């Protein structure tokens, strides 16, 4: 049965037609047309579907949409806005979050399928750990699988983004 649920995604409020137990990932794709989060395993095992919920990484493939009501969802598309908010410059949203820029500079992606989850998890990490060590990065990224083996480049990109974010540059 269709719901009248409202959810907040990337700073905007949306009415949801899907039933309350529909996975958040399906609502993001089918109703909000946000395709940053990917369907991988569907079992909370790979991280391709990750989003931030009140700033913490969750697996949207196994999260019922009703569970995010009253909370703030941020998808890959919302990372630049999140960075602007963190800097207190919400009226001037950059094109890219520093992590996204670092991903480009370091040329991290190969096929790209896992990269949504990698970026979301890295955003979660850098929100609380400003200058993470390689060990801290490996621990944080541990639950995300990349079949293309981009792990080394991801560590380099996170460290580059961390430096940019500490300086407060976009």
Given the rule CB under 6 A, which of 39-47, 64-72, 99-107, 156-164 is the region that contacts ligand FES? 39-47
84: helix, strand or coil: helix
Number of neighbouring beta carbons within 10 Å of residue 156:
15
Give the one residue of 17, 45, 128, 131 binding ligand FES; rule: CB under 6 A: 45
Residue (48 or 165) nearer to ligand FES, CB: 48
Q: Is 148 among the residues that bind ligand FES (CB under 6 A)?
A: yes
Give the one residue of 110, 127, 159, 160 binding ligand FES; rule: CB under 6 A: 110
The sign of the CA dihedral 48, 52, 56, 60 is negative
Q: Is 113 among the residues that bind ligand FES (CB under 6 A)?
A: yes
Task: Go through 15-29 and write b for each residue having 16 or more CB atoms within 10 A of its CB, e for each that does not.
Answer: ebebeeebbbbebbb
Shortest spacing between CB 158 and ligand FES, in angstroms: 15
Q: If binding means CB under 6 A, how many residues of this protein chain bind ligand FES?
A: 23
Give the one residue of 16, 49, 51, 53 binding ligand FES; rule: CB under 6 A: 49
What is the separation of C-alpha 154 from the centre of its chain, rounded to a whole number of angstroms? 14
Given the rule CB under 6 A, which of 9-17, 40-48, 87-95, 120-128 is the region that contacts ligand FES? 40-48
Q: What does the H/E/C string look like for 104-167?
A: HHHCCCCCCCCHHHHHHHHHHHHHHCCCCCHHHHHHHHCCCCCCCCCHHHHHHHHHHHHHHHHH
State the binding string over 53-82 for ligand FES (x if CB under 6 A, else -): ------x-x---------------------
What is the separation of C-alpha 64 from the centre of its chain, rounded to a whole number of angstroms? 17
Give the DSSP H/E element, type plus range, for residue 26.
helix 24-30
* Contact set with ligand FES (CB under 6 A): 39-42, 44-49, 59, 61, 109-115, 146-148, 150
């Amino acid at each position: 049965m269709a719901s009248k649920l409202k959810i907040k995604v990337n700073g905007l409020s949306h009415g949801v037609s899907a039933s309350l137990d529909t996975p958040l990932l399906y609502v993001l794709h089918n109703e909000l047309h946000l395709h940053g989060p990917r369907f991988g395993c569907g079992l909370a095992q790979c991280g391709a579907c990750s989003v931030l919920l009140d700033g913490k990484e969750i697996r949207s493939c196994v999260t019922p949409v009703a569970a995010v009501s009253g909370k703030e969802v941020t998808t890959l598309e919302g990372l630049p806005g999140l960075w602007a908010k963190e800097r207190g410059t919400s009226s001037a949203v950059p094109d890219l979050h520093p992590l996204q820029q670092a991903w480009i500079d370091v040329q991290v992606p190969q096929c790209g399928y896992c990269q949504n989850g990698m970026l979301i998890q890295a955003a979660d990490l850098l929100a609380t750990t400003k200058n993470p060590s390689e060990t801290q990065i490996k621990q944080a990224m541990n639950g995300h699988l990349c079949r293309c083996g981009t792990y080394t480049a991801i560590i380099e990109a996170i460290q580059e983004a961390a430096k940019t974010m500490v300086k407060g540059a976009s």
